[in-house]
Amino acid sequence: MSDLARLLKESWTLVEDRQDKLAGYFYARLFLSHPKLRDMFPVHMDVQRSRLLAAVVRAVQTLEDPDQFDAYLRGLGRDHRKFGVVKEHFDAVGAALVGALREFAGENWCWEYEQAWQDAYTVIAGKMQAAAETDTNPPFWRAKVVRHERVGQDIAVFTVRPEAPISYRPGQYVSVESGHRPRLWRPYSIANAPREDHTLDFHVRAVNSGWVSGALVRKLAVGDELRLAAPMGMMALDRRSARDIVCVAGGTGLAPIRALVDELIRYNRTRWVHVFVGARTRDDLYLLDDLRLLASRYPWLSVIPACSDDPEFGGETGLVDEVVARYGPWAEHDFFVSGSPNMVRSTIRTLTELRVPSTRIRYDAFGDL
C-alpha cells in the first residue's frame, strides 16, 4: 500500500462511525459557503444516504485502482454536466469535504491527512473535469415517452425517443430525471442495443416508497418528457472474447442483459449464451415470452427462468445464483451479472466458489455493493 493510500485509510477510520453526521456537516458547510449550490440539489435531501459524499469518499479511497476508476470517473464527469457543474463547484465541494473531515476527526487530524485528501480529491476532480470539458454532447437529452406498459404489479417497460441520437454501448446506463420528480436523478439501464430510430427501452420496478421509480412506473405516460444524462458503466461485451457467455439477471436487472442479448443477435454466430433470469414470483418474471421467442429463433441462446418464492412455478426454483450453480461447469465462460446489491453479491460469491476468475465477471448492482 502506498503512503497516500495508507494516510487516506488511516484518517477515514477517525470519522467512519459518524458518517451520517459528517454528511450533514459537509452539506451545511457547502451551502453556507456557496448558497447558490443549494438549488442544484433535491428539495428534500436524504443527507444520510448522500450519494455525492459516498461517491467522493469511495473514489478517493480507491484511487490506487486506476484501470477501474479512470473510466468510471470520466463517465461521472460527463454525467455531472447535467447539474451544470463547473470548476468553482469542484473547489467548493473539495473544501467542504476536507473541512468536514478536519472538524470531525478533531485533535487526531494532522497536516499529512489534510494533504492526502486534498491531493486525492484534486486528482479525481481533475479527471471528472477533463472528461466534462472534452465532451461535445449536450449536458443532457430531452426524450419523449412513446410507449409505456405495465408488465407486472410493480414493473413498467417503456420506450423513449431522445431529441438527438445518444451514443452508448449495450450494457450501459443513464441517469434519468422525470418532470414528476424534478431534480431527482436516478440511474437506469438501457434495455436495447442502438436502433436506427434511436429509441431507448427501460425496465423499471417501483421500489417501496421509491420517489423516482414509483413515478416512472405509475405516473409516467406516453407524451411525457424525461431528461437523460451521459451514458455510463462498463458492463459491455468484449467482442474479442471467443468464450461462451452466461448472463444472470435478478428482477429488472434483466434490462442491461436484454441489451447485451440484442447486441449478440446482431453479430454472434459462435458463442453459446445462457440467460438465467430470477424473480421472486411468476408475476415478476416479465418479458419471458419475448425471451423464449428469441431462444426459439437463435439456437445459440438458452433462457432459464427461476422463482425463489413461488411453489406454483413449474420451472427452476431457488435464488438465481443457486440455480446457476446447478448447471455448468462454468470455469471457461464470460459472466454478466445484474440486479439488486444482494443478488449481485451472492452471485459473485457463488461464482467465486465455482472457481470463475473474477476477471471474467462483469456486473452492475442497482445500489451500493
Ligand X SMILES: Cc1cc2nc3c(=O)[nH]c(=O)nc-3n(C[C@H](O)[C@H](O)[C@H](O)COP(=O)(O)OP(=O)(O)OC[C@H]3O[C@@H](n4cnc5c(N)ncnc54)[C@H](O)[C@@H]3O)c2cc1C
Q: Which stretches of the chain bind ligand HEM, using CB under 6 A?
A: 37, 40-42, 45, 51-52, 55-56, 59, 76, 79-80, 83, 85, 89-90, 93, 124-125, 128, 175, 185
Question: According to CB under 6 A, which one of 24, 99, 210, 315 is a site residue for ligand X?
Answer: 210
40 binds, among ligand X, ligand HEM, none (CB under 5 to 8 A by kind): ligand HEM
Contact between 205 and ligand X (CB under 6 A)? yes
Question: According to CB under 6 A, which one of 77, 162, 171, 214 is a site residue for ligand X?
Answer: 214
Grid coordinates representing 31 are 451551502
**CA–CA gap between residue 343 and residue 263 (Å, rounded):** 24
Contact between 26 and ligand X (CB under 6 A)? no
25 binds, among ligand X, ligand HEM, none (CB under 5 to 8 A by kind): none
Question: According to CB under 6 A, which one of 124, 204, 261, 277 is a site residue for ligand X?
Answer: 204
Q: Which residue is nearest to ligand X (CB)?
A: 210
Candidates 13-21, 24-32, 258-266, 360-368; binding stretch for ligand X (CB under 6 A) = 360-368
Contact between 366 and ligand X (CB under 6 A)? yes
Question: According to CB under 6 A, which one of 11, 50, 159, 252 is a site residue for ligand X?
Answer: 252
Q: Are 206 and 195 in contact (CB under 8 A)?
A: no
DSSP annotation of 131:
H
Tell me if the bond preceding 231 is cis, omega within 30° of 0: no
Closest CA to 8 of 173, 161, 118, 125: 118
173 binds, among ligand HEM, ligand X, none (CB under 5 to 8 A by kind): ligand X
Q: Are 310 and 319 in contact (CB under 8 A)?
A: no
Candidates 1-9, 99-107, 212-220, 318-326; binding stretch for ligand X (CB under 6 A) = 212-220
Angle at 257 between CA 161 and CA 239, to 5 degrees: 100
- Note the helical H segments in the chain: 3-12, 19-33, 51-61, 66-79, 87-105, 111-134, 211-218, 254-267, 288-297, 320-326, 341-353
**CA–CA gap between residue 226 and residue 142 (Å, rounded):** 6
**CA–CA gap between residue 368 and residue 51 (Å, rounded):** 10
SS3 state at 77: helix
Q: Which is nearer to ligand HEM, 40 or 288 (CB)?
A: 40
Question: According to CB under 6 A, which one of 83, 141, 188, 276 is a site residue for ligand X?
Answer: 188
Instruction: Determine how β-strand 185-189 pairs with β-strand 173-178.
Output: antiparallel
Question: According to CB under 6 A, which one of 31, 211, 272, 300 is a site residue for ligand X?
Answer: 211
Contact between 367 and ligand X (CB under 6 A)? yes
Contact between 189 and ligand X (CB under 6 A)? yes
Hey, which residues between 124 and 183 contact ligand X (CB under 6 A)? 173
Grid coordinates representing 216 are 416512472
Positions in the binding site for ligand X (CB under 6 A): 173, 186-189, 203-205, 207-214, 233, 252, 255, 340, 364, 366-367
